[in-house]
């Protein structure tokens, strides 16, 4: 296995931007350091995960958990909107979206 | 908006200098009863935010469960596109921030699509066949619908806020991605539209989606790049999102080829970005820089276990596949004995189903073709509607033709009856009965009319008896008039010739 790449300040800033999290310079420094120790821990797992061990996304070896295509109970519009900070015309009202479409 | 004022190059010139390469992503909404990961109904145009469950809204604690029928439909699509079906595959989270999904990610598939490595043959209007290679087909969920408020045109720019309806959030989608489609040259616009039309027809044949373009059941993202020639490496591509009509697809490709050629001629680089097509101008405009896949920070969906379709299930689905459009066309061409041109015209007019149903209702293929591609095509064009939307059924057309074949009515009366059917006055036999339009077959009536015409037109009679048999038409005219067009012209001619003692 290859070594884990280390996570620098630039990577942290970029990740924060992608995740829409605002970080101060101090926080970026701190997280860069913490990420490094996390990456080291992950790297030690990689040492035992050899080529013949398939990647696992689920701890229990199950496949094909399906639901039949049958309509179930739905929420009413009132229930759906009950937790919304703002609603309008039966829809969730969200602040101005800019830049993307 | 980019600040450039570089003029697009005339399309034909652009094609002479550059080799376009296409790549097309098609999303199809599956026609399941429920959503991909929850039991909310999959419905169009319900009251906003009523076709939802806690899972559709991504409420805390709500967990997704995969819809078996949606997986089956995805496998059907994969098989119809000659793909391999994965032995095992996973869902993945695609992270992005946009209020059309509440979870801040879309449940999709990333490195393990359910179907991969296929192909489909598409036929262009002149009969040329092009094979399009399919890279993958994967399952995912649709997003909710945003309505932008406060802007001038309902667009996002200038809007003060937006409203979201999550009825569509979680509707099952299959996304089909082509490999780069090279060597289309000047036909690139036509190829783009023909490819999506071919997929649309396959979806309908598979009965996995209503596949209505105007409802957004089928949506296409169109990638275009230019290179110097067919040997050169691929150029930088742009992706025009959500192009939802065949005409818009052709216009998008044309306008992107012209625009990119202008940029390249001016020594500019093409920016890899998403673009938007504008129906009013036929142009595309810049959207956002194309995100790299890693920006979406895909990772395997921990709330769902892998889908591992057994080979038995896949083969069972394969053996149940219906006849696909291309095979059906080949079969019908053989059965009907149409010329290639007649067949293509019928396909392009959307008349194939109608002709087939008319033939199964008892009409000959040529008479069915004659009605749908003749009189009915003319009416549809006049009224600016599709053939299938005319208020006449294939069964009625077969019945109408049956009346002609049985010499109950002649062709001319049949056309009048057709117009009355279209006006909703009833079925063919009913209208003929009600209006007394049946051919006058009473010999005494016909003979009387012939005698009258002979008596009224001595000069014509003299001509005929003098050898000008074609003058007989001048006698038939008044007879048809006397019988209100309902006489069998062939029989009338025979009677005249008998009476005048001429032959030939």
The 3-state secondary structure of B73-121, one letter per residue: HHHHHHHHCCCEECCCECCEEEECCCCCCCCCEEEECCCCCCEEEEEEE
CB-CB under 8 Å, A70 with B276: no
Bridge partners (DSSP) of residue B29 are B173
CB neighbours of B401 closer than 8 A, spacing ≥ 6?
Answer: B358, B363, B364, B367, B368, B371, B414
**How far off is chain A from B189, nearest CA to CA, in Å?**
25
CB-CB under 8 Å, A69 with B67: yes
Rg, Å, chain A Cα set: 22
The contact set of A with B (CB < 8 A) is 18-20, 55, 57-58, 60, 62-77, 80-81, 83, 88-101
B178-223: pLDDT as tens digits:
999 999 999 999 999 999 999 999 999 999 999 999 899 999 999 9
B312-334: pLDDT as tens digits:
999 999 999 999 999 999 999 99
Distance CA B163, CA A23 (A): 30
Confidence of residue B29 (pLDDT cuts 50, 70, 90): very high
Mutate to test the interface with B, among A5, A74, A85 (most CBs of B within 10 A): A74
Residue B154 has pLDDT above 80, yes or no: no
Mutate to test the interface with B, among A64, A86, A98 (most CBs of B within 10 A): A64
**How far off is chain A from B251, nearest CA to CA, in Å?**
21
- Average pLDDT for B128-150: 94
CB-CB under 8 Å, B48 with A94: no
Q: What is the pLDDT of residue B136?
A: 98
* Alpha-carbon separation of residue B417 from B230, B366, B386, B490 (angstroms): 57, 20, 21, 20
Q: What is the mean pLDDT of chain B?
A: 91
Confidence of residue A1 (pLDDT cuts 50, 70, 90): very low
Distance CA B76, CA B317 (A): 7
Cβ-Cβ contacts under 8 Å, B88 against chain A? 63
Mutate to test the interface with B, among A66, A82, A86 (most CBs of B within 10 A): A66
Residue B288 has pLDDT above 80, yes or no: no
**How far off is chain B from A84, nearest CA to CA, in Å?**
11
Of A67, A81, A96, the CB nearest to B49: A81
Confidence of residue B504 (pLDDT cuts 50, 70, 90): low
CB-CB under 8 Å, B159 with A57: no
> What are the backbone angles phi and psi of residue B487, rounded to the nearest 5°?
-85, 150
C-alpha dihedral, B71 to B75 to B81 to B87, nearest 10°: 120
Confidence of residue B19 (pLDDT cuts 50, 70, 90): very high
Report helix angle B411-422 to B376-383, nearest 10: 40
Cβ-Cβ contacts under 8 Å, A93 against chain B? 161-164
B51-77: pLDDT as tens digits:
999 999 999 999 999 999 999 999 999
CB-CB under 8 Å, A73 with B38: no
CB-CB under 8 Å, A93 with B49: no
B490-501: pLDDT as tens digits:
888 888 888 888
Of B159, B288, B300, the CB nearest to A99: B288
A31-85: pLDDT as tens digits:
998 988 888 888 888 788 777 877 777 888 899 999 999 999 999 999 999 999 9
Bridge partners (DSSP) of residue A94 are B162
Confidence of residue A5 (pLDDT cuts 50, 70, 90): low
CB-CB under 8 Å, A66 with B48: no
Residue B287, SS3 per DSSP:
strand
The DSSP line for B138-203 is EEEE---EEEEESSSSSSSTT-SEEEEE-TTTT-EEEEEEEPPB---GGGHHHHHHHHHHHHHHHH
- Average pLDDT for B448-473: 86
Dig out the tokens for A32 from the structure: 């860069």
CB-CB under 8 Å, A74 with B163: no
Cβ-Cβ contacts under 8 Å, A5 against chain B? none
**How far off is chain A from B295, nearest CA to CA, in Å?**
7
How buried is A3 (Cβ within 10 angstroms: 0-12 exposed, 13-18 middle, 19+ buried)?
A: exposed
CB-CB under 8 Å, B305 with A67: no
Cβ-Cβ contacts under 8 Å, B97 against chain A? 20
Let me know: does B219 contact B248? Beta carbons within 8 Å.
Answer: no
Q: What is the pLDDT of residue B471?
A: 85
Let me know: does B221 contact B24? Beta carbons within 8 Å.
Answer: yes
Let me know: does B82 contact B135? Beta carbons within 8 Å.
Answer: no
CB-CB under 8 Å, B161 with A75: no
**How far off is chain A from B410, nearest CA to CA, in Å?**
53
ipTM of the complex: 0.85
Of A64, A81, A96, the CB nearest to B307: A64
Cβ-Cβ contacts under 8 Å, A62 against chain B? 305
Let me know: does B418 contact B392? Beta carbons within 8 Å.
Answer: yes
Distance CA B333, CA B93 (A): 47
**How far off is chain A from B222, nearest CA to CA, in Å?**
16
**How far off is chain A from B182, nearest CA to CA, in Å?**
29
* Closest chain B CA to residue A72: B39
> Tokens 């997929």 — which residue?
B199
Q: What is the pLDDT of residue B153?
A: 63
SS (H, E, C) B211-264: CCHHHCCEEEEEEEEEECCCCCCCCCCEEEEEECCHHHHHHHHHHHHHHHHHHH
- Average pLDDT for B242-256: 94
**How far off is chain B from A11, nearest CA to CA, in Å?**
12
Report the candidate in B158, B275, B451, B136 with the shortest Cα–Cα distance to residue B461. B451
Residue B139 has pLDDT above 50, yes or no: yes
Q: What is the pLDDT of residue A98?
A: 66
Cβ-Cβ contacts under 8 Å, A20 against chain B? 97
Per-residue DSSP letter, B337: T
B121 Ramachandran zone, left/alpha/beta (phi>0; psi -120 to 50): beta
């Amino acid at each position: 296995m290859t070594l884990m790449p280390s996570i620098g300040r630039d990577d942290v800033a970029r990740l924060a931007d992608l995740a829409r999290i605002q970080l101060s310079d101090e926080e970026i420094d701190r997280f860069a350091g913490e990420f490094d120790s996390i990456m080291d821990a992950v790297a030690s797992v990689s040492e035992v995960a050899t080529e013949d061990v398939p990647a696992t996304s689920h701890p229990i070896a199950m496949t094909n958990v399906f639901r039949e295509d049958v309509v179930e109970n739905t929420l009413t519009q009132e229930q759906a909107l009950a937790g919304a900070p703002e609603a309008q015309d039966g829809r969730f009202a969200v602040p101005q979206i800019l830049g993307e479409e | 908006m980019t600040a450039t004022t570089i003029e697009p190059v005339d399309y034909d010139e652009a094609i002479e200098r550059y080799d376009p390469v296409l790549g097309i992503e098609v999303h199809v909404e599956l026609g399941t009863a429920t959503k991909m990961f929850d039991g909310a109904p999959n419905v169009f145009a319900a009251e906003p935010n009523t076709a939802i469950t806690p899972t559709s809204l991504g409420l805390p604690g709500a967990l997704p469960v995969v819809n078996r029928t949606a997986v089956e439909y995805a496998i059907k699509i994969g098989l119809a596109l000659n793909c391999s079906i994965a032995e095992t595959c996973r869902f993945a989270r695609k992270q992005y921030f946009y209020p059309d999904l509440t979870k801040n990610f879309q449940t999709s598939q990333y490195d393990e699509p359910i179907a991969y490595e296929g192909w489909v043959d598409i036929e262009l209007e002149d009969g040329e066949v092009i094979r399009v290679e399919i890279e993958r087909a994967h399952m995912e969920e649709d997003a909710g619908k945003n309505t932008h408020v406060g802007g001038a045109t309902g667009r996002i720019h200038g809007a003060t806020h937006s409203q979201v309806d999550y009825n569509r959030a979680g509707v099952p989608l299959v996304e089909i991605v082509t490999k780069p489609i090279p060597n289309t040259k000047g036909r690139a616009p036509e190829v783009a539209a023909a490819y999506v039309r071919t997929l649309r027809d396959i979806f309908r044949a598979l009965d996995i989606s209503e596949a209505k373009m105007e409802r957004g059941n089928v949506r296409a993202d169109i990638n275009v790049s230019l290179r110097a020639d067919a040997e050169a490496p691929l150029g930088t591509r742009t992706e025009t999102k959500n192009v939802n009509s065949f005409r818009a697809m052709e216009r998008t490709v044309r306008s992107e080829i012209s625009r990119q050629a202008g940029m390249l001629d001016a020594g500019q680089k093409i920016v890899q970005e998403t673009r938007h097509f504008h129906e009013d101008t036929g142009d595309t405009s810049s959207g956002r820089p194309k995100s790299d896949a890693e920006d979406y920070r895909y990772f395997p969906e921990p709330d769902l276990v892998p889908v591992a379709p057994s080979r038995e299930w896949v083969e069972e689905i394969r053996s149940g596949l219906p006849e696909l459009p291309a095979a059906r066309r080949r079969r019908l061409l053989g059965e009907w004995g149409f010329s290639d041109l007649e067949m293509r015209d019928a396909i392009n007019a959307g008349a194939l189903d109608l002709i087939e149903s008319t033939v199964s209702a008892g009409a000959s293929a040529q008479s069915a073709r004659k009605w749908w591609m003749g009189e009915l095509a003319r009416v549809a064009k006049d009224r600016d509607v599709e053939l299938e939307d005319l208020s006449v059924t294939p069964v009625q057309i077969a019945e109408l033709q049956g009346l002609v074949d049985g010499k109950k009515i002649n062709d001319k009366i049949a056309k009048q009856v057709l117009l009355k059917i279209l006006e909703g006055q009833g079925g063919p036999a009913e209208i003929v009965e009600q209006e007394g339009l049946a051919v006058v077959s009473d010999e005494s009536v016909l003979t009387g009319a012939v005698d009258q015409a002979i008596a009224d037109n001595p000069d014509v009679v003299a001509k005929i008896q003098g050898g000008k048999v074609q003058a007989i038409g001048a006698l038939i005219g008044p007879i048809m008039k006397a019988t209100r067009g309902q006489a069998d012209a062939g029989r009338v001619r025979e009677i005249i010739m008998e009476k005048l003692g001429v032959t030939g």
